[in-house]
Amino acid sequence: MQLFDLSGKVALVTGSTRGIGEAIARRLAEHGAKVVVSSRKPEACARVASEINAAHGEGAAVPIPANINDKAQLQALVADARAALGRIDVLVCNAAINPYFGPSMGIPDDAFDKILGANLRSAHWLCQMVLPEMAARKDGVIIIVSSIAGIKGTPLLATYGLSKAADLQLARNIAVEYGPDNVRANCIAPGLVKTDFARALWENPEIEKQTALTNPLKRLGVPDDIAGAAVFLASRAGAWMTGQTLVIDGGTTVA
């Protein structure tokens, strides 16, 4: 078996119609996995799935839209993924939100609840839904896309960072509980990546330049800088890694 071969695997990737999630879905398919493309917008799911199928053959990707804040929609997502592709071998919890940018003491209650709900509770729900089949099969992979905001203190992203720190612990707990069933759970913690989600932090060229200068590689990340880590964690190459957090940030956290 080639270390990075994902042939025969089925991966469900949330938030996979743009940015990091889209890059992960495309790269998992490139390495042989069948991919469930999911986000809130049906037309966006259809577009990305169609492009993956054009590149890797019909059936390489299936579009299934869902709102991560709606438990019934997530249950339908999992059920429809199984109906379409038979099983779920790899769950990538990537979808996240951040409706508030400012000091922690100023966040409204509804924004706090939305952030924790979308970024933590939805991942918890999805893990609850797929872990039983993985444990029964004695094979499965959970990948949660966290952030270096969950590792560092931040003056403007405190609640977002809180949700992302909790994701790290969610992966650790799953690793301990389900390790005996050969289920692995890990996080990826990106630094600032040039995506629509993070546009407010980089779209001004001067701000981008100043931010890039804070890391040793002197540039911001792009989605493919993160996607390869998901391929590693999903494949035989990552078979002895669990409960860990891969920090991919151009060296920001060590500078």
Catalytic annotation, residues: 160
Nearest to 160 by CA among 209, 216, 100: 100
Where do the H-state alpha helices sit in 16-157? 19-30, 42-56, 71-85, 109-116, 122-137
Give residue 2's region: left, alpha or beta (phi > 0; psi -120 to 50): beta
| Long-range contact pairs involving 124-129 (C-beta distance under 8 Å, separation at least 24) | 124/170, 125/71, 125/74, 126/12, 126/14, 126/74, 126/78, 126/91, 126/93, 127/91, 127/93, 127/170, 127/174, 127/185, 129/74, 129/75, 129/78
String of DSSP letters for 138-203: T-EEEEEE--GGGTS--SSBHHHHHHHHHHHHHHHHHHHHHGGGTEEEEEEEE--B-SSTTGGGTS
Judged by DSSP in three states, 211 sits in: helix
CA–CA distance from 211 to each of 33, 57, 65, 82 (Å)? 35, 40, 34, 42
